[in-house]
Amino acid sequence: MIFLLIFVILFLCYSALIFYYWQGWRTIPHFNVNQPGHSVFVSIIIPARNEEKNIGELLQSLQCQTYPKQFFEVIVVDDHSSDSTVEIVSRFRDIKLLRLEDEAINSYKKKAIEKGIAAASGELIITTDADCIPLSGWLQIMVAYKEATNGLFIVAPVVFNCNSQIVQIFQAMDFMILQGITGASVFRKAHSMCNGANLAYERKVFFEVGGFSGIDQIASGDDMLLMHKIAKKYPERIHYLKSKDAIVSTSPMPSWKAFFNQRIRWASKAAHYGDRRIFWVLLLVYIFNFSFFVLLVAGFWNHSYWLYFVLAIVLKTLVELPFFTAIATFFDKQWAVKYFFFFQPLHIFYTVAAGLLGQFGLYEWKGRRVK
């Protein structure tokens, strides 16, 4: 009875949190370009390691941007690629190609971005990943939003494209939830969340906060940890750009192993968050999901707990469904709603496993074993 009471309290707190995010997401105004931005010089920084399958399509999409070509540059920083990434980049005219030096460090991606920014001429830095594809009006709306808000750090949406494989469908759905939480938390100034695949920030503020100094020993966190450093100094100048034209698409991990490695990498940042608000949110979510395991195990002694387990999954689904539906509608992936209930057990399992391994385990990233 004591455990059930604790579970009810956790459920109520979790429900309030989801409702808070749902209302926050719904409140974010959609940004429409009234007057296209054109007066800001932009440097697009792309760290790349063994991206021969993706980098060409990204660079081609950047050549098709509606933003005037004289107002932006593209900088690719190669992170010791052993495939034909460098050769492919070299085929594109007007692409600035840099290479990382050979040195033993833990965060190669941060070093690549740092090197790119040091060589950049733009007052506005936009980062994306080598496996991403933006729409043709991406730069146009990013700059227009920058000019409309005078934001120092702009978070923009990212979506996973997926095929019919279960591993890809699950990732696309899970990532949409993270994107909804990101938008709501940034808009409400609740805590620092973002994704490095679609970020914009002023070059001068990067140096003003010391860049990645103090967080450069952490393999991940080139996005959220930097965001928190800037948010501490300029909390009112952090913005979320809610616009379908600003969406950057990317591909999910090709296998369950790669997916778990990615999520473990993301979870590994949790202990380093300077923003304690997000730590308590993550702790609540983790304990709530872990309580499902307790219900499942308790069922071996008392079968009624299995009934509670199923009931709890149904209630969790009902609480999250309006939020997920709103996000799926924004990303034009309403088809995902019908799978939502069936993926709940898998989502609970991966949340607990990735959260645990992210704090205590090693993971593989871009062919490297890091912590």
Name the residue with tokens 């074993």: 369
pLDDT digits (tens, 9 = 90+) for 13-32: 999 999 999 999 999 999 98
**H helix or E strand, kind and range, residue 266:** helix 256-267
Predicted confidence at residue 102, as pLDDT, reads 77
Whether the predicted pLDDT of 12 surpasses 70: yes
Name the residue with tokens 């730590």: 279
pTM to 2 decimals? 0.89
Name the residue with tokens 């609970």: 348
Which amino acid belongs to residue 218?
A: I
Query: What's the whole-number average pLDDT of the chain?
Result: 90
Helix (H, G, I), strand (E, B) or coil at 234: coil
Side by side, which strands form the sheet with 132-134? 132-134, 248-250, 158-160
What is the average per-residue pLDDT within 115-142? 96
Q: Would you say 366 and 49 are in contact if contact means Cβ atoms under 8 Å apart?
A: yes
Which amino acid belongs to residue 301?
A: W
Residues in the chain, total: 371
The four Cα atoms 357, 368, 162, 131 give a dihedral, to 10 degrees, of 140
pLDDT digits (tens, 9 = 90+) for 236-258: 999 999 999 999 999 898 889 88
Distance CA 186, CA 155 (A): 8
Q: Which residue has the higher pLDDT, 328 or 254?
A: 328
Whether the predicted pLDDT of 5 surpasses 70: yes
Kindly report the backbone phi and psi dihedral angles of residue 18, in degrees, each rounded to the nearest multiple of 5, phi listed first.
-65, -40
Whether the predicted pLDDT of 112 surpasses 90: yes
Whether the predicted pLDDT of 35 surpasses 80: no
Helix (H, G, I), strand (E, B) or coil at 157: coil
Predicted confidence at residue 362, as pLDDT, reads 58
pLDDT band at 371 (very low <50, low <70, confident <90, very high): low
Helix (H, G, I), strand (E, B) or coil at 345: helix
Share of the chain above pLDDT 90, in %: 68
Predicted confidence at residue 132, as pLDDT, reads 96
pLDDT band at 222 (very low <50, low <70, confident <90, very high): confident
